[in-house]
Structure 1
């Protein structure tokens, strides 16, 4: 049983291979450029889509998949009549609302690298759920934001004793919650993700809480436009294998000077950074203006073949709204080149299908990302959204 913080050193490797430092640098540069690629109105709608996607993938990592359409229905307060589906819907909505709350906390000054934020992540998620939705399989009800009062075993891993948890969290704050360069901070975020999971401070819900903290720690760089959860969920066996390897004790005199394996921790850091870099590079490809024009063309052409209210004249104005931002309804109609009545009918159809969004009945229109269009507009971002879903 671990009972002293020196037993989970190193918290950050003292020597970093050139490849790890290079990945952290490339991630910082690429993510910074991504935020400037899309109009603010597009970033806003994409941010909400990624938020739902994070909820879906975090659930899936835990082996509790909820169909994206069920999440979309739950956000409209439309819950399934099947108890298990409805429970997962409630967990998904709680995760989405928890993200918003935590982002506000970080914006108000709470350090995303602190144990206080980790505790807040657990509390923000589970305090939103009724007792029946946070009852563990072995009986106890998860206490939101409270350290576990008992010693536990997690597979082959025996986390620190319950009595020692405050000391371990305090040591994490000493190492992670301090000023760093951006590249060093990215490496520290990866290390914190593992060490927080290794400490296992809560009776249950540790994985979700740790991923929420990582989301917040990356927020200033990601702005919510990408998430490591998507990449981690797509390679769950590798995710858990890398976490496990970083759990291992030091192998020999060439494996650092801490109690735990430096090589295992570096392997995890490299995997985490590579996952983040892959997600950022993917979003770069998705948001490129030229390729988006091609995908908008394909979507509208496909729909126009079976939907008489959809017309090819929508392609140019829809791409304009994507690249330049909201326009008035009159401007959108003019961009179609159609007669007034036909243009108005086309605009109504695009609003009805969610390809355009407006806050008021006569207000400006902006770019939308409905789930049933993602297979064209953002292929492979959220492919599960295009699959069929069982009806209640």
Structure 2
């Protein structure tokens, strides 16, 4: 069903609209505080985690072809712009998500398909969903999430008709989803603010076994912190941030490249870029979970 053909609830409470407005403000702030190169690293980390969190939510993996078809469908259904206010477009996207949970013809893929579609809608609305993980938030509250779906999801209405959810249950679902979204945006924002990031990076450089085994000095921590904040730095500036003598700074940089924390296109590249491998990212996002095989550096 096209999102524009789903009627908005008759009465949307001021608190729901305020939460939708807050989501716009908070996602814009998050996007503005992260350098593009660092944002790309965070986005990849979150993308790699989706399968793990989806498995927690659904209890199984969904076939990639099903998700691909859902993404194509979402791209074709981007008609939210017809709704006059951004906050009401957000509400409409969540109503569409609820409808998909209730009516998808393939019950075993309901949640995964609906989440692909809502991710696309949130992206079209400029809410930067690649920088925060809706899947993580729903995995932490998956029992509440599926309490909104039919108890027997093999008995669903057709996408083009049938019984629609009550206005009360729809509003409750919207409130729940906005709460989850805001919580996940706050989680990433808190982890990446300057104070939190500094504490996490320096703690990691003092305690991370892989860094210690590689012979990487904790004195290089400030340089990695600067690289995470800036996304990219001239090689000379990076080495200056270490506070080490040139030869030692060069040696430490080589080790950082080898463990995958820094990207240098060539040995003598003048510009360095940040990387955020999962094993180190867990210092910054301590409550972030991946399957064990995805955590081990390869």
TM-score range, shorter chain: 0.7 to 0.9
Q: Which has the larger radius of gyration?
A: 1
Q: 1:37 aligns with which of 33, 50, 58?
A: 33
Unaligned runs of 5+ in 2: 154-162
2:274 is matched with 367
Aligned equivalents of 1:26 and 1:177: distance in 2?
A: 19
**Which is worse superposed, 316-325 or 209-218?**
316-325
**Can you list the C-alpha shifts for 1:137-174, whole angstroms capped at 9, x where unaligned?**
xxxxxxxxxxxxxxxxxxxxxxxxxxxxxxxxxxxxxx
Distance 1:360 1:213, change over 3 A: farther
Instruction: Kindly indicate which of the two structures has a greater share of residues assigned to helix.
Output: 2
Aligned equivalents of 2:29 and 2:76: distance in 1?
A: 24
SS at 2:148 equivalent = helix
Q: 1:321 aligns with which of 227, 230, 238?
A: 227
Distance 1:322 1:192, change over 3 A: same
Alpha-carbon shift at residue 10 of structure 1 (Å):
7.2
Q: How does 1:199-218 map to 2 (within 5 A)?
A: 199-202=103-106, 205-218=109-122
Contact 1:55 1:95 in 2 (8 A): no
Aligned equivalents of 2:97 and 2:112: distance in 1?
A: 11
Aligned equivalents of 1:385 and 1:295: distance in 2?
A: 22
Alpha-carbon shift at residue 16 of structure 1 (Å):
1.1
1:150 is matched with none
**Which is worse superposed, 283-292 or 370-379?**
370-379
Aligned equivalents of 1:32 and 1:388: distance in 2?
A: 30
1:345 is matched with 251
**Can you list the C-alpha shifts for 1:61-112, whole angstroms capped at 9, x where unaligned?**
22136xxxxxxxxxxxxxxxxxxxxxx8xx57x799x49x959x98xxx455
Contact 1:243 1:268 in 2 (8 A): no
Unaligned runs of 5+ in 1: 66-87, 115-175, 248-257
1:357 is matched with 263
Aligned equivalents of 1:209 and 1:181: distance in 2?
A: 26
Distance 1:268 1:223, change over 3 A: closer
Aligned equivalents of 1:274 and 1:259: distance in 2?
A: 23
Alpha-carbon shift at residue 27 of structure 1 (Å):
1.0
Contact 1:112 1:216 in 2 (8 A): no
Matched, 1:376 2:280: no
Contact 1:311 1:346 in 2 (8 A): yes
What TM-score results when the alignment is normalised by the length of structure 2? 0.81
1:14 is matched with 10
Q: 2:82 aligns with which of 178, 203, 215?
A: 178
Distance 1:388 1:259, change over 3 A: closer
Q: 2:130 aligns with which of 203, 220, 224?
A: 224
Structure 1 ranges of 4+ moved more than 6 A: 386-390
Q: 1:48 aligns with which of 44, 49, 73?
A: 44
Alpha-carbon shift at residue 235 of structure 1 (Å):
1.3
SS at 1:243 equivalent = coil
Distance 1:227 1:113, change over 3 A: farther
Q: How does 1:245-264 map to 2 (within 5 A)?
A: 260-264=165-169
Contact 2:23 2:181 in 1 (8 A): yes
**Can you list the C-alpha shifts for 1:211-242, whole angstroms capped at 9, x where unaligned?**
11111111121151013111111111110002
1:127 is matched with none
Contact 2:138 2:145 in 1 (8 A): yes
What TM-score results when the alignment is normalised by the length of structure 1? 0.63
Contact 2:122 2:128 in 1 (8 A): yes
Contact 1:226 1:280 in 2 (8 A): yes
Aligned equivalents of 2:112 and 2:262: distance in 1?
A: 33
Matched, 1:23 2:22: no
Q: How many residues get paired?
A: 280
